[in-house]
Structure 1
């Protein structure tokens, strides 16, 4: 008996990374009008952002159907293995619901569906926490119990390069867009409990970096023992200055850099910087 890990594509592991970790990835779809792509399979992050910049309308995303999970669940049931599914926040997508429907069809109690309440580099923190618990000898039920508590502490902070995509997606009025752009305001967003909220506004890039750390400190600060991930949208070069700043402030604890995919990227656009942490 072993534990099988299944995640959806919005965790933003590459296919190679997922294979090396032993994770099965179930892709979401990205739709530009009538053009349909499997996230991370038919369209990679860099190509997505290039297409996003040239698109007049925002693309949409589509959750996997229950059928996308069925074969994996049936294989696990036949093998007598446990399954831990760590999936995109249910407030952002119906992916968790599709997996729950598939579990009901298969009728196998040893499938555990975890609503990560996160996406992208935040989900990766939670997945790697699961692997650490497995190495400690924890069984599937114990791992899931710990994740259900740990996920409440995971937060992604994002600094957006432009207000355009927030305005296109209806999260910012045209008036707010005009004022924000005129004042060179950069929004600091926070993803926690499955919601994307504005944690603050700052003038200029360095002001946004300081605002991010103030927002994090207000929530209790980073749990240094758990480490942190960095992320970016678009081209990796946009992260360089932010990465130096974060590493200077946080010192040790850096784990990895993640190319943020389409689900968060569709709302923030290219050029965003991100930091994912476990809060105290």
Structure 2
């Protein structure tokens, strides 16, 4: 079984290689330059470019043809394909994948709307890869994806809501616009879109709130799978991760960096955590 996702999963390269995951990239546009997300520009370089420009970044989804090209080699070999993608409420990536699927009548292809983004999508992809490695069929793994995807909790904070606002991904978090500049907005991906949670006034309180949320989840489920990361905010993430790792029952899948597309909408300085009950025990 071949598992394919898109570049908004922000999967670290070592996990892409380990699980043999196919990545269909979105495209980043900044000023008069464009890059294929994940393939053409490293996160740290993109953060540097973003901080020094006055241009606002935009992104574009893959076309159905990009997915046809990604699926074709595996269809020709008779392999089954599980294609898991960014929330359909945040992008048209899922729709492009569905249109590509219709190009292969009779092929064993399942296309799944994760209702997630970034590290939460990564967690789902890895869970599916591990499930497939244990011998599950395509339909069984697709069922796992559709069942577990909505259960993953994703919380994040941004330095500025302006990137989400300009990029059209702010959702109901627009209620935070116009508040004090020093506010640290705590946001959540819920039902596939960005939702406001709290307005927090200090960085210390923000980190404590992240920890409180994970502690509550760990008390409920006893064991959690977790992924964390940031966009040009490594020192603060190191602090946060040190606190999170002291919580009993946490299994850290990886610490990553937000890729170009997600950073284009979240901005530099973002922090993100994603977790779900450990279904790989």
Structure 2 match to 1:245? 243
Structure 1 match to 2:265? 267
TM-score between both structures, scaled by the size of structure 1: 0.87
Deviations, residues 191-249 of structure 1 (Å, cap 9, x unaligned): 13211111111110121123335556788966443411111112533311111122223
- Quickly say closer, same or farther: Cα 1:225–1:27, change in 2 above 3 A: same
Would you say how many aligned residue pairs link Structure 1 and Structure 2? 275
How many Å separate the matches in 2 of 1:215 and 1:242? 13
RMSD of equivalent CA atoms:
2.6
Structure 2 match to 1:22? 20
- Quickly say closer, same or farther: Cα 1:198–1:174, change in 2 above 3 A: closer
How far is the alpha carbon of 1:55 from its aligned partner? 2.4
**More displaced stretch, 226-235 vs 214-223:** 214-223
8 Å contact from structure 2 (residues 24, 70) kept in 1: no
Structure 1 match to 2:45? 47
Could you tell me which of 92, 95, 99 is aligned with 1:94? 92
How far is the alpha carbon of 1:129 from its aligned partner? 0.8
How many Å separate the matches in 1 of 2:223 and 2:197? 24
Deviations, residues 15-57 of structure 1 (Å, cap 9, x unaligned): 5542332111111000113311100111121112112212223
Structure 2 match to 1:6? 4
Structure 1 residue runs of 5 or longer lacking an equivalent are none
Determine whether 1:200 maps to 2:193: no
Structure 2 match to 1:62? 60
- Quickly say closer, same or farther: Cα 1:201–1:119, change in 2 above 3 A: same
**More displaced stretch, 168-177 vs 267-276:** 168-177
Could you tell me which of 111, 116, 130 is aligned with 1:132? 130
How many Å separate the matches in 2 of 1:222 and 1:33? 47
**More displaced stretch, 231-240 vs 144-153:** 231-240
How many Å separate the matches in 2 of 1:174 and 1:226? 31
Structure 2 residue runs of 5 or longer lacking an equivalent are none
Structure 2 match to 1:80? 78
How far is the alpha carbon of 1:168 from its aligned partner? 4.9
Deviations, residues 77-132 of structure 1 (Å, cap 9, x unaligned): 22111000111111111111111111111223410001111111111110111122
Structure 2 match to 1:180? 180
Name the SS for the 2:68 alignment partner.
helix
Name the SS for the 1:158 alignment partner.
strand
**More displaced stretch, 85-94 vs 159-168:** 159-168
Q: 1:112-131 counterparts in 2 under 5 A?
A: 112-131=110-129
How many Å separate the matches in 2 of 1:176 and 1:13? 30
**More displaced stretch, 70-79 vs 91-100:** 70-79
Name the SS for the 2:153 alignment partner.
strand
How many Å separate the matches in 2 of 1:223 and 1:265? 31
Structure 1 match to 2:157? 159
Name the SS for the 1:77 alignment partner.
helix
Could you tell me which of 103, 106, 115 is aligned with 1:105? 103
